[in-house]
Amino acid sequence: MIKKIEHLGIAVNNIEEATKTYEALLNSPPYKTEIVEREGVKTVFFECGESKVELLGATREDSPVGKYLSKQKEGIHHIAFFVDDLKSEMKRLQKEGFQLLSEEPKAGADGKSIVFLHPKSSHGVLVELCED
Ligand code: CMX
């Protein structure tokens, strides 16, 4: 079952600058910074009540975030929903006709197992499902 919005992912051109901006906006420092090599991304996480904000900076131009930033302006890149049973949600959404971007859950940032749905399946929004 989808339980809540876990985080919003924001793609940024300069992660150091954006970290300062979001630290000022949320009036709180980030709780975690992590490089996910497989995704070619540097992430900075802020807590925001029950949800989080994830800043995403590309570490490679050919990574998903690198390609995204080369084509469009920085801004909201994805919305991540927290699920209690990732495999059963994957089966349910596949049956509903959503295009999953991987057949199996992958290791994502912040200790989560994740899977993405193609933005064309969800009216132009890249959706991530994540599980602890
Ligand atoms: N939100 C909405 N639309 C997006 C998008 C995004 N984040 N990224 C790409 N698109 C759209 C493009 O605008 C393009 O649309 P048109 O066909 O209408 O022009 C289409 O998707 C294809 O885009 P592309 O640049 O050719 O990119 P690819 O097809 O190679 O890849 C995608 C697109 C979504 C499959 C790829 O970005 C992906 O696999 N994403 C999931 C993984 C990811 O984003 N990882 C980074 C975050 C990791 C983390 O959170 O830790």
pLDDT tens sequence across 38-81? 999 999 999 999 999 999 999 999 999 999 999 999 999 999 99
40 contacts 59 by C-beta, under 8 angstroms: yes
Pairwise CA distance, residues 8 & 11, whole Å: 10
Atom of ligand 1 nearest to the CA of 65: 46
Q: Look up residue 117 and give its amino acid.
A: L
**pLDDT of res. 19:** 98
Ligand 1 probe mutation, 68, 70, 74, 102, most atoms within 8 A of CB = 68
Residue 68: CB within 6 Å of ligand 1?
yes
**pLDDT of res. 72:** 94
| Position 85 confidence tier, pLDDT thresholds 50, 70, 90 | very high
Average pLDDT value for residue range 121-131: 97
User: Is beta strand 51-58 parallel, antiparallel or unpaired with respect to 41-48?
Assistant: antiparallel
Q: Look up residue 7 and give its amino acid.
A: H
Residue 100: CB within 6 Å of ligand 1?
no
The alpha carbon of 40 and the centre of ligand 1 are apart by a number of angstroms equal to 13
Q: Look up residue 101 and give its amino acid.
A: L
The alpha carbon of 128 and the centre of ligand 1 are apart by a number of angstroms equal to 12
The alpha carbon of 119 and the centre of ligand 1 are apart by a number of angstroms equal to 7
CATH architecture, range 2-131: Roll (3.10)
pTM (two decimals): 0.97
